[in-house]
Amino acid sequence: MDKKNILIVIIVFLLSCLLLVIGSNPNTLSAKILGLESKIESPRQLYNVYLAGKSIGIIESKEALENYIDENRIRAVTNAVKRRIQQLEQFICERRVEPSMHGNVSTEDDVSENIAEDYSPKMEL
């Protein structure tokens, strides 16, 4: 080998050693200058999410999952209430009775009194 090749091998070897030293200790000044410093992360708590016994994913924030579930639950309940109201409206429209068909049609006050009577506590002496 000629001197030029030996010099190149020595330079490559020294650079490799330098990178090895810098890489093994990323908090050194030279590592910071070269931008090789690593960010020290604290341990993270992860949660496995299961649906019907099957794992569907991993999350980092329990609170975010709970908020997501709460939002979906609110949306589901709201949709169920809307569907129930629509069903009741349809039922009322189908069952609407003409006043001329029945002689004893109740007024709103009669209905309120009947409901109050049904739900009032029964006290017997």
Which tens digit of pLDDT belongs to each residue from 79-124? 999 999 998 888 888 776 555 545 565 666 776 676 666 666 655 5
pLDDT-derived band of residue 125, with 50, 70 and 90 as boundaries?
very low
| Diameter over CA atoms, the chain | 122
Rounded distance between C-alpha atoms, residue 94 and residue 123, angstroms: 38
Q: What is the pLDDT of residue 59?
A: 85
Report whether pLDDT(45) > 80: yes
Which tens digit of pLDDT belongs to each residue from 93-102? 877 655 554 5
H helices of 25-61, in order, are: 29-34
Close Cβ partners of 33 (under 8 Å, ≥ 6 residues apart): none
The full DSSP string for 86-99 is: HHHHHHHHHH---G
Which tens digit of pLDDT belongs to each residue from 2-40? 888 888 999 999 888 777 666 666 666 666 666 655 555
Q: Look up residue 34 and give its two tokens.
A: 């070269």
Q: What is the pLDDT of residue 83?
A: 92
Residue in 65, 64, 84 with CA at minimum distance from that of residue 76: 84
pLDDT above 70 covers what percent of the chain?
Answer: 57
Rounded distance between C-alpha atoms, residue 98 and residue 95, angstroms: 10
